[in-house]
A = this chain, B = another copy of it.
Amino acid sequence: MFTDKLIDRIISLRNHCIVGIDPSYNIIPDFLKEKYLGRNDGNIDDLTEMLYEFCIHIIDNVYDIVPAIKPQIAFFEKYGSKGLKALEEVCRYAKKKELMVIADIKRGDIGSTCEAYAEYYFGNDEWSLDCDAVTVNPYMGSDSIIPFIDKCLEQDKGIFILVKTSNKSSIEIQDLICEGKKVYEHVADLVINLGKDYVGQRGYSFVGAVVGGTFKEEGENLRKRLKNCYFLVPGYGAQGAVASDLSGYFNQDGLGAIINSSRGIIGAYQLEKYRYDFDQMSYGAAARKAVLDMRDEINMYLELNGKLAW
């Protein structure tokens, strides 16, 4: 079962952090740009090979210390079919390294359309991505989520439904108050209903929730509301969430959340904190150091709050 497997990895690595693979152009080190693109802008094959090398080097530097990576599909889809091919190879490589892959796709559509998405992301044909989990958008309601759940049952996968996202304008729709509850709390209830029959041995359903790390109070309230639900928490680092705010996203068993950082890890070599110790050639080593620092910081606050799972 997806959540049981995820929790096993978290406990054996003593790490709740996952690495967001968001390879925007600005985050790629200059020496790689020079290698692949030379003095011009490069052609599409050069661009996507560069993307591939960048991601593989990140994976090589973190695969043995994080439970999962979270590729953001947009940065591959940006380059169309060639970009998607690079993503397919990155996912295959991650799998070989026994990393779990959570594809950040935020898809949401109905019926056979939703099934078609599920077949690509969860299928095991030679051409499908065969990820461990995906993120899903709830605006269209359960019609747009159930086909993913059916495929999870068939292929032993998981989903994280967007509940409360980390961005500022998430309040515009998600925080509207409807019949005494905010919209995102209604979505949280939907998550409970959709996931309640799929709780694994560790007590967590494979129907999880995306809960932004930038809204501490909302995160803590959702934690109380969604006991059996694993949280995928974006917003750490670049978006402003800090470790001291996140203990409340975990249950008393010291489990219940994976914390994602993207730019803070894969672009660590560019940050004030790391750039004196790591040059651009060492972007992989910088990423590894940033993961270890993040892991330790989150674990420290969990320990202070009596929430260590090991």
Query: Bound complex: CA of A162 vs CA of B108, how far in Å?
Result: 11
Cβ < 8 Å to B, chain A residues 53-87: 72, 74-75, 77-85, 87
Cross-chain contact B78 with A170 (CB below 8 angstroms): no
Query: Bound complex: CA of A111 vs CA of B239, how far in Å?
Result: 11
Interface-side segment among A122-130, A244-252, A287-295: A122-130
Query: Bound complex: CA of A22 vs CA of B126, how far in Å?
Result: 23
A174 at the interface (CB under 8 A from B): yes
Of the listed residues A112, A114, A120, A168, the one surrounded by the most CB atoms of chain B closer than 10 A to its CB is: A112
Cross-chain contact B142 with A172 (CB below 8 angstroms): yes
Query: Bound complex: CA of A107 vs CA of B106, how far in Å?
Result: 7
- Encode A135-152 as 1/0 by CB contact (under 8 A) with B: 001111111100000000
Interface-side segment among A94-102, A177-185, A197-205, A225-233: A177-185
Cross-chain contact B74 with A80 (CB below 8 angstroms): no
Within the complex, the shortest CB–CB distance from A63 to chain B, in Å, comes to: 23
> Using Cβ atoms and an 8 Å threshold, which residues of chain B touch A79?
120, 127
Q: For the complex formed by this chain, how many copies does it contain in all?
A: 2
> Using Cβ atoms and an 8 Å threshold, which residues of chain B touch A174?
139-141
Given B77, B107, B137, B176, which contacts A116 in the complex, CB threshold below 8 Å? B77
- Encode A244-275 as 1/0 by CB contact (under 8 A) with B: 00000000000000000000000000000000
Cross-chain contact A80 with B179 (CB below 8 angstroms): no
A6 at the interface (CB under 8 A from B): no
A301 at the interface (CB under 8 A from B): no
Chain B, residue nearest A162 (CB) = B139
A216 at the interface (CB under 8 A from B): no
Within the complex, the shortest CB–CB distance from A106 to chain B, in Å, comes to: 6
Of the listed residues A72, A137, A142, the one surrounded by the most CB atoms of chain B closer than 10 A to its CB is: A137
A153 at the interface (CB under 8 A from B): no
14 residue pairs of the A-B complex, CB under 8 angstroms, read A74-B107, A74-B113, A74-B116, A77-B116, A78-B116, A78-B117, A81-B88, A108-B137, A111-B167, A138-B139, A139-B165, A141-B171, A143-B167, A144-B167
